[in-house]
Structure 1
Amino acid sequence: AVMSRDTMRFAIFQPRTRPLFEMGIKMVLLGFLIWFFMALWNIDGTAWLASAGVIGIAVGFAAKDLLANFFGGLMIYLDKPFMIGDWIRSPDQDVEGTVEHIGWRQTRIRTFDKRPLYVPNATFTQISVENPSRMQNRRIKETIGVRYADAAALADITRDVEKMLKAHEDIDSSQTLMVYFDKFAASSLDFFIYCFTKTTDWQTFHAVKQDVLFKVLEVIEAHDAEVAFPTRTIEMQQLSGPGEENTNNAAASS
């Protein structure tokens, strides 16, 4: 039977982790055989162990980065923060794209402009990694402003927008859903919408978001209101000139 993606994510023995266990078993067997023959032939292993320790320290310093990448790859295989085909990104470094290959030294990521990005595995032990491929929903968070002249209709607008979102077939009403008047802005009365779509697909999400925003416009227009845009009101006052001031003074004295 073919294992599902979620089942393979949490399984320890996978096709990609099998070489790790095979290598570990071989090393354990090799060590056991060496110990067995040394004990059989009455060989003192103290000097051998001391020499092996010195050699191991020297090799460790020489191959520090290689070992760091190896253990970084080991942590990726065991913890499974991402798998091949996942879209990942990091807020700490400019790393974002689709995982194409996970090796013992480096991971190959295909960026959205189709460039291959090779990341040493040790990097993933030092940065935070987001995995949007494992999202359950996508969020819509938008602020819309109406004119100050439409203040009387604002309560009805927010109420009808909330009803529209709850009835929308692509909005997950079991998640947080809010529509509230937010603030008095410079040129508008702002309210925000906060909800989650059922889909996690990037392209489908934008289609749903577009439909929601169009429906918000329909609600606003149904209340004879308009979306606000930056405006500035200038009050003009007519000032009297010097001749007009003398005429006014003469009229007042007479």
Structure 2
Amino acid sequence: MARLIVGVVATLFAFGSATAWPQAASVEESHPLRATDTSSPRATLKTFLSSVHEVYQGFSQEGRSFESEAERSALGARILRCLDLSEVAESVHDGVGRETAACLKEVLDRIELGPEDTWPDTKQVDEGGLSKWAISDTEIIIQRVKEGPREGEFLFSPETVDRAADFYVLVKDLPYKERQSITPGLYQLYLSEPGWLLPRSLVQGLPAWAHVRLLGQAVWQWAGLVLTTGVSLVLMSVIYYFGRWRTSHLRPNWLRYLVMLVCPLTAMLIPLAALYFLEQHIRISGTALLVVSYLSWLIFLLTLMVVLLGAGNYLAALIIATPWVQPHGLDSQWVRLVCRVGSILAAIIVFLEGGQQFGIPLTTLVASAGVCGLAVALAAQDTLKNVFGSIMVTLDKPFQVGDRIVAKGYDGIVEEIGLRSTKLRLLTGHQVSIPNDDMSRCDIENISRRPHIRGVAKIQLPSDTPTAKVKRAVQIVRDALHDHEGMEETYPPRVFLRDVNESSTGIVLFYWYHPANYWAYLAFTEGLNLQVMEQFEAERIPFASPALTVHLPDSEESGIDMRSER
């Protein structure tokens, strides 16, 4: 991922070269598509010497220009392919590789290499089983790579790469050998020659004190480092401020979220652009380059992780803003959860990939992430229980926002279903929050999903009421309920003479009101009761005491919702 982003940055700035090494020959002369020959120590050494010499010729004559930089990337990559950089962090491969190549070439130009025919070739490697070769009387080693994508190739060993600068310090006072391919002053040119963005004449025209080297860098390079760092910090702050505070007035929301996402993305690319400028044009090197590279990549990776975490929230907000998602429903919570989990996973991938860029083994990163994950899981046991409870509520869907339910003894309207708890607005007006872990395990009565309201009533007549009047009373009730309002054919009313005892005679009636509109049901019940009472009074049918008992549905006895029926 990091390599891809670096490639994008390089393309955007039209810098796109794998290395800053120039070359004298044209693209056609150097065969940029030709594979690097590292089949033997001889092939590797010849490739390295000739490629660096070709770089030096063009560099010393032309300097750096935009056109030459674009043409020289293939040759620079060929030089780096002669070095085993497997033990160097990927984030500083190019910088370390170029400085190592310059040091090695300076060393090789000052020592005896022996006749070329004494360098082991492919035939000698195959016949003798050679896996390592040291240049005569030195510790500069070219050895076969044992594993990895470059297995079998002969490269300058990781130890040689690590000690190249030390080798140069030991031999820098020795004279150059009389050899056709020597590159006098290469290392100094590498350290002090600016990139194509800075005019060569401008740097060379600076006063002598600006070229004095302090801690491995020229004074003008230190000034460029400080100035570039300051400008980068200012740009990042301005972009962050604009994306954070200046977008609140933008409409529609998707545009605001888009700008809030693009601004951090732009800001996080600034450290890489600054690193490229410092490395390729200011030409800082050595420890300063390592420190700047690590800090730039660290800022980039941390910013990228923050952007990914924020992107999950913005994406969730965009999805929830669509008309088919309830803002306070469980679906919206799951949109937030999925987007958040996705952004966290992306941040973890960036963390693992970024760790490898810094040279930290993947096993160490995975172990660290596992330990952190276990610690978080132990610290958040109750929260995780509620999250899993919300999963069960999602799968079962016993209620949704707007439903009236009875759960754990609470009767109210569901106002919000969150990842941790469900909020109910009780019929008394109070709000109660019930953990989702409890909601997934308790009995839930969903009143809003009833298809009808059942009415049950009992009419008591005196025990000495004549049989004819008892029959008439039953018929009056049946006539009153015949094809009544809210009746469906599958739920006809039922009226029976059920109780006959010494104190009274009881008539029981059942009816079902459709749909389950409680206020309409009460209005119908009121009309039914008045009609029965008027008929009984006209027929002179007395009521026993208590004369009429009406049983309202149990779910309505705990309170009355004064809002409109849902």
Equivalence for 1:215: 531
Rounded Cα–Cα distance in structure 1 between residues aligned with 2:336 and 2:515: 36
Equivalence for 1:183: 499
Are 1:192 and 2:515 matched, yes or no?
Answer: no
Rounded Cα–Cα distance in structure 2 between residues aligned with 1:218 and 1:82: 43
Equivalence for 1:155: 471
Identical amino acids, percent of aligned pairs: 25
Equivalence for 1:75: 392
Q: SS at 1:17's partner residue?
A: helix
CA shift at 1:157, angstroms? 2.1
Rounded Cα–Cα distance in structure 2 between residues aligned with 1:17 and 1:188: 60
Equivalence for 2:521: 205
CA shift at 1:50, angstroms? 5.4
Tell which has more relative contact order, 1 or 2 (C-alpha 8 A, sep 6+): 1
Q: SS at 1:224's partner residue?
A: coil
Which amino acid letter does the alignment assign opposite residue 181 of structure 1?
L
Equivalence for 1:87: 404
Structure 1 residues 133 and 140: CA distance shift in structure 2, 3 A: same
Structure 1 residues 169 and 202: CA distance shift in structure 2, 3 A: closer
Which amino acid letter does the alignment assign opposite residue 420 of structure 2?
R
Rounded Cα–Cα distance in structure 2 between residues aligned with 1:196 and 1:205: 9
Equivalence for 1:169: 485
Residues 66-112 of structure 1 deviation map (CA, whole Å, 9 limit, x = unaligned): 1111222233334322222211112xx22111111222112221111
Structure 1 residues 56 and 148: CA distance shift in structure 2, 3 A: same
CA shift at 1:135, angstroms? 1.4
Which is richer in helix? 2
Which amino acid letter does the alignment assign opposite residue 159 of structure 1?
Q
Rounded Cα–Cα distance in structure 1 between residues aligned with 2:518 and 2:531: 20
Are 1:134 and 2:472 matched, yes or no?
Answer: no
Rounded Cα–Cα distance in structure 1 between residues aligned with 2:346 and 2:466: 80
Are 1:60 and 2:387 matched, yes or no?
Answer: no
Contact 1:97 1:110 in 2 (8 A): yes
Residues 185-232 of structure 1 deviation map (CA, whole Å, 9 limit, x = unaligned): 45211111111112322222211122222222234334321111169x
C-alpha RMSD of the superposition: 3.3
| Number of residues of Structure 1 aligned to a counterpart in Structure 2 | 222
Rounded Cα–Cα distance in structure 1 between residues aligned with 2:349 and 2:371: 21
Contact 1:151 1:189 in 2 (8 A): no
Equivalence for 1:120: 435
Contact 1:84 1:100 in 2 (8 A): yes
Task: Structure 1: state its 5+ residue gaps.
Answer: 232-254
Residues 21-66 of structure 1 deviation map (CA, whole Å, 9 limit, x = unaligned): 3234335545666777899989453x65555555444433321111
TM-score normalised over the length of structure 2: 0.35
Rounded Cα–Cα distance in structure 2 between residues aligned with 1:19 and 1:206: 42
Rounded Cα–Cα distance in structure 2 between residues aligned with 1:59 and 1:2: 36
Structure 1 residues 217 and 55: CA distance shift in structure 2, 3 A: same
Structure 1 residues 16 and 44: CA distance shift in structure 2, 3 A: closer
Rounded Cα–Cα distance in structure 2 between residues aligned with 1:54 and 1:118: 33
Equivalence for 1:229: 545
Rounded Cα–Cα distance in structure 2 between residues aligned with 1:105 and 1:216: 52
CA shift at 1:151, angstroms? 4.0
Contact 2:330 2:394 in 1 (8 A): no
Rounded Cα–Cα distance in structure 2 between residues aligned with 1:62 and 1:34: 22
Structure 1 residues 44 and 22: CA distance shift in structure 2, 3 A: closer
Contact 1:170 1:197 in 2 (8 A): yes
Which of the pair has more CA radius of gyration? 2
Equivalence for 2:102: none
Equivalence for 1:145: 460
